Chains A and B, each alone.
Chain A
């Protein structure tokens, strides 16, 4: 735990700050969290995420974790999954959740909005083909409903069908009976997503509060406790995984 006490040098942060828009204090807090999750290693793997106890009850956990390992979210125009990520990529993914700075002009805000919607789009579009097909949408709904027991599987399918139909109706307008709607493209998603971005903009988590967490002694103890639970829950988490 000694690494947590010394704060890494400022010059390393300058690049990151420029790239992601976080402030130095925020970056250092996130760095601490990164080191804690990776047990002071250099990279994070999927297992490290699985060991977070609170995440276990989240129905879309696997999709969230996948989003961290998806090259499309690294802003480097790459594609495909990776196996492990360094702190830089972790920070880049986290920066998607930053609220737009109040100094931004309208066009910058528009860009930020597009990026956030793109992030969600990438989460849904698992096969990287640029469209959300019916199967992928069904998978999304299945995941959302995965925590409730004894569900009729067809209800999930019909919900996804209805949703897909809605998007198709609003974006395509008129289709011949034998035309086939391939899937939701990003443009259609943007149309649907105008209301979602409103929620998104209001719901972005406040990373600023983390800086308070880092500087208090209680936080230090909290960090230890979390690690202890993380280790003890790792077994139960992996057990749950194998059950599924």
Chain B
């Protein structure tokens, strides 16, 4: 609390800036942002800046204008950027204010800000931008869906696929018809003045309002961290119901113009559903395979690798939209298909880039969507009808609860891990509506009832996001729903999962039963023998999954070690078990140092070296197209570098535990780092078998490590929870990379 003084002044300064920006954005005429539906022509009322234009055009001034003002040309990008900046500053602001973000989910806050901005714009008297459908569906929605699809937990998703599909398809159908039908019944009640609403319009309305929205679900569920099963159930449902929504929407819209429905139309509708969903998936899969295939050849142009991922996915989405197929499913399919192959092919940096760009774009999109939702609420013409709105909200709740309970009863007969009452409650409560419903409602062409429908939709959205979104977190805690376990990737788990898979496949074969495991196994084998060879470059195509998992883990540990060595201090270890406790005594020829494939080794080396030898890199020339291994920005000074080097040495020396029986080298050796003079490379030609810890590592003028025989006692107070063997391996790798008696002092980073 001692920093309250400066913190407060920062905060006030921050808010002043934000409000200034707000005023600027509002007054600069935000009309241009909307697609054109709501724009009137150029308004008669001038904005404050416009009069400035006049000064340049008068003829009697002959002097050359040193400073001129021409806002008109850059208006559109300027305003767009301003809006995005505003949105992000708002997001930032919520975390500056303490305690708000614990109670209120971010989506609510953003809608609130949108309402505020909309109110200000309206108070000034201008037309506020509305969440244009084209803008939403083509620019704002795809990044969120791609982010979700690319990082979808495949295993859980496939395990629960049946459940998810039942909820998505049958659940949405039930919701749509129930809400539509009941609303029609309500409209027929005397004295409500809604008799003009016919059945088809009601059904159309029911369709729009019944779809669970992925954006809202993601926004709320991400903050409450429930267990993976529930998360994937609700989220998967929100993704897969897009096909149903698309088909029903187009169906009812066509019919409401035509007026009558026949059985043939119904059958065609069903066929259309299958075409839309399966077609969408196929389009996505094709683009995914293309993307994976392209990534195979990008070894020399690493910089543009992420772009392939993004562009192929976006093309998949747009191509699906061309044929009125389900764009969301296409995007998901593309991400899912592309991911394993792309990850095997791209460099580590590209992988990080892809990850962060996706997260960044989806975050921006989400923020903008919620803000625009708020602004549109204030802006749009409303037609409030108490009966209609209240009954819509009630019916939504009721139908959702009934639907979930009924479907779970049926589904539980086929599930081994049944869904409990708590699970059902969370699934029902998590059915949030969001911007997709709003945009679909916006597309309605029927003017007279459109406003009423829109009002009802907005009310439902507000209700679900605010009421349900805010209360779901305390409810989750109250009901003690299982939370997501933060577990590190564990090699044991991976081994046993694979073992179990094979075991159960084997048992199925012995029973003669062609079940779930059998087909999964067949698919895996097909993937391994044919697909991987085509889509993955180089030697990694034959790498078994366990090995790649292990390598990934090692890489992560190496990165963590190096990063923590240069910045913060390592967390303390809890366990002092090391390799020598496990190795059997007397087994002399067993190596303590494991080996991994050469290319991985080189990558790890590069990473480690780049961190320990930063001074060299500052001398290189800068080129925009080179992918330079950039030094960490916060360690520039030489003094700090040396200090950290010493720290690192000390830590490394504490970690190294060479098993007692293997000590064929003198127990204490000198440590000397000489980064400026000796840059060692791993020379492939030198040792054909790859890096092994040779018992006597050559000339002692090279860097060698202090081998610790005092045991890990000292280190326990200060050190890491990183599994010690990983540390040790990294140290040994480090020793190898630095102690290679490489006579060639060539450039290490090329």
A201 touches B723 (CB 8 A): no
- Interface positions, chain A 201-244, Cβ under 8 Å from B, are 201-207, 209-210, 213, 223, 226
Interface core residue of B416, B497, B597, B712 (most chain A CB under 10 Å): B416
A141 touches B495 (CB 8 A): yes
Option from B502, B574, B579 in Cβ contact (under 8 Å) with A173? B574
Interface residue B512 (Cβ < 8 Å from any Cβ of A): yes
List chain B residues, Cβ under 8 A from A107: none
B581 touches A177 (CB 8 A): yes
List chain B residues, Cβ under 8 A from A193: 496
Closest to A29 in B: B511
Interface residue B711 (Cβ < 8 Å from any Cβ of A): yes
Interface residue B643 (Cβ < 8 Å from any Cβ of A): no
List chain B residues, Cβ under 8 A from A170: 575
Q: Which of A3-11, A16-24, A160-168 contacts B (4 or more CB under 8 A)?
A: A160-168
Interface residue A178 (Cβ < 8 Å from any Cβ of B): yes
Identify whether the interface residues of B are mostly helix, strand, loop, or mixed.
helix
List chain A residues, Cβ under 8 A from B493: 195-196
Interface residue A179 (Cβ < 8 Å from any Cβ of B): yes
Interface residue B584 (Cβ < 8 Å from any Cβ of A): yes
Q: Please, what's the 1-or-0 string for B502-540, where 1 marks a CB less than 8 Å from any CB in chain A? A: 111111111111011110000001000000000000000
User: What separation, in Å, do the CA atoms of A159 and B681 have in the docked complex?
Assistant: 26
A163 touches B506 (CB 8 A): no
B544 touches A154 (CB 8 A): no
Interface residue A169 (Cβ < 8 Å from any Cβ of B): yes
Interface residue A27 (Cβ < 8 Å from any Cβ of B): no
Q: A196-B496, A206-B515 are in contact. Are A162 and B491 (CB under 8 A)?
A: yes
Closest to B728 in A: A165
A172 touches B515 (CB 8 A): no
Closest to B690 in A: A152
User: What separation, in Å, do the CA atoms of A69 and B544 have in the docked complex?
Assistant: 30
A177 touches B724 (CB 8 A): no
User: What separation, in Å, do the CA atoms of A66 and B7 have in the docked complex?
Assistant: 68
Q: A64-B506, A134-B582, A169-B575 are in contact. Are A177 and B595 (CB under 8 A)?
A: no
Q: Please, what's the 1-or-0 string for A183-207, where 1 marks a CB less than 8 Å from any CB in chain B? A: 0000000001101100111111111
B417 to chain A, nearest CB (A): 5
List chain B residues, Cβ under 8 A from A207: 511, 513
Option from A37, A167, A203 in Cβ contact (under 8 Å) with B504? A203
A55 touches B517 (CB 8 A): no
Q: Please, what's the 1-or-0 string for B560-577, where 1 marks a CB less than 8 Å from any CB in chain A? A: 000000000000001111
Which of under 10, 10 to 19, 20 to 34, or 35 or more describes the interface residues of B?
35 or more
Q: A58-B505, A209-B513 are in contact. Are A163 and B492 (CB under 8 A)?
A: yes
List chain A residues, Cβ under 8 A from B723: 162, 165-166, 169
A163 touches B491 (CB 8 A): yes
Interface residue A1 (Cβ < 8 Å from any Cβ of B): no
B416 touches A99 (CB 8 A): yes
User: What separation, in Å, do the CA atoms of A213 and B417 have in the docked complex?
Assistant: 24
Interface residue A105 (Cβ < 8 Å from any Cβ of B): no
A159 touches B550 (CB 8 A): yes
List chain A residues, Cβ under 8 A from B502: 58-60, 144
B59 to chain A, nearest CB (A): 82
Interface residue A155 (Cβ < 8 Å from any Cβ of B): yes
Interface residue B580 (Cβ < 8 Å from any Cβ of A): yes
B726 touches A60 (CB 8 A): no
Q: A157-B594, A169-B723 are in contact. Are A102 and B418 (CB under 8 A)?
A: yes
List chain B residues, Cβ under 8 A from A145: 544, 546-547
User: What separation, in Å, do the CA atoms of A55 and B493 have in the docked complex?
Assistant: 24
Interface residue A174 (Cβ < 8 Å from any Cβ of B): yes
List chain B residues, Cβ under 8 A from A213: 512-513
List chain A residues, Cβ under 8 A from B511: 30, 33, 94, 205, 207, 210
User: What separation, in Å, do the CA atoms of A111 and B229 have in the docked complex?
Assistant: 25
User: What separation, in Å, do the CA atoms of A145 and B575 have in the docked complex?
Assistant: 29
User: What separation, in Å, do the CA atoms of A196 and B494 have in the docked complex?
Assistant: 10
Interface core residue of B417, B501, B512, B726 (most chain A CB under 10 Å): B512
B513 touches A205 (CB 8 A): yes
User: What separation, in Å, do the CA atoms of A226 and B577 have in the docked complex?
Assistant: 51
User: What separation, in Å, do the CA atoms of A234 and B344 have in the docked complex?
Assistant: 38
- Interface positions, chain A 93-127, Cβ under 8 Å from B, are 94, 97, 99, 102, 120, 123
Closest to A159 in B: B550
Closest to B497 in A: A199
User: What separation, in Å, do the CA atoms of A141 and B511 have in the docked complex?
Assistant: 25
List chain A residues, Cβ under 8 A from B495: 140-141, 144, 159, 163
List chain B residues, Cβ under 8 A from A57: 525
User: What separation, in Å, do the CA atoms of A134 and B659 have in the docked complex?
Assistant: 16
A39 to chain B, nearest CB (A): 14
B492 touches A192 (CB 8 A): yes
Interface residue B483 (Cβ < 8 Å from any Cβ of A): no
Interface core residue of B509, B518, B525, B729 (most chain A CB under 10 Å): B509
Q: Please, what's the 1-or-0 string for B58-101, where 1 marks a CB less than 8 Å from any CB in chain A? A: 00000000000000000000000000000000000000000000
Interface residue A52 (Cβ < 8 Å from any Cβ of B): yes
List chain A residues, Cβ under 8 A from B501: 203
Interface residue B159 (Cβ < 8 Å from any Cβ of A): yes
Q: A99-B416, A155-B595, A163-B492 are in contact. Are A203 and B506 (CB under 8 A)?
A: no
- Interface positions, chain B 463-511, Cβ under 8 Å from A, are 487, 490-493, 495-511
Closest to A147 in B: B544
B584 touches A134 (CB 8 A): yes
User: What separation, in Å, do the CA atoms of A168 and B594 have in the docked complex?
Assistant: 18
Q: A55-B509, A169-B577 are in contact. Are A161 and B416 (CB under 8 A)?
A: no
User: What separation, in Å, do the CA atoms of A227 and B327 have in the docked complex?
Assistant: 47
Sorted nearest first, the 4 A-B pairs with minimum C-beta distance are: A158-B594, A54-B509, A169-B575, A64-B506
6 residue pairs A–B, Cβ–Cβ below 8 Å: A36-B512, A52-B510, A165-B579, A206-B416, A210-B511, A223-B512
Other than the given A150-B542, A155-B550, A206-B416, 18 more pairs (CB < 8 A) read A58-B505, A120-B496, A149-B542, A151-B547, A155-B595, A161-B725, A162-B491, A162-B550, A165-B579, A172-B581, A177-B660, A179-B581, A195-B493, A199-B497, A200-B500, A203-B500, A205-B504, A207-B511
Query: B residues engaging A (CB < 8 A)?
Result: 159, 416-418, 487, 490-493, 495-513, 515-518, 525, 542-544, 546-547, 550, 574-585, 590-591, 594-597, 657, 660, 711-712, 723-726, 729
Query: A residues engaging B (CB < 8 A)?
Result: 30, 33, 36-37, 49, 52, 54-55, 57-61, 64, 94, 97, 99, 102, 120, 123, 134, 140-141, 144-145, 147-152, 154-155, 157-159, 161-170, 172-181, 192-193, 195-196, 199-207, 209-210, 213, 223, 226
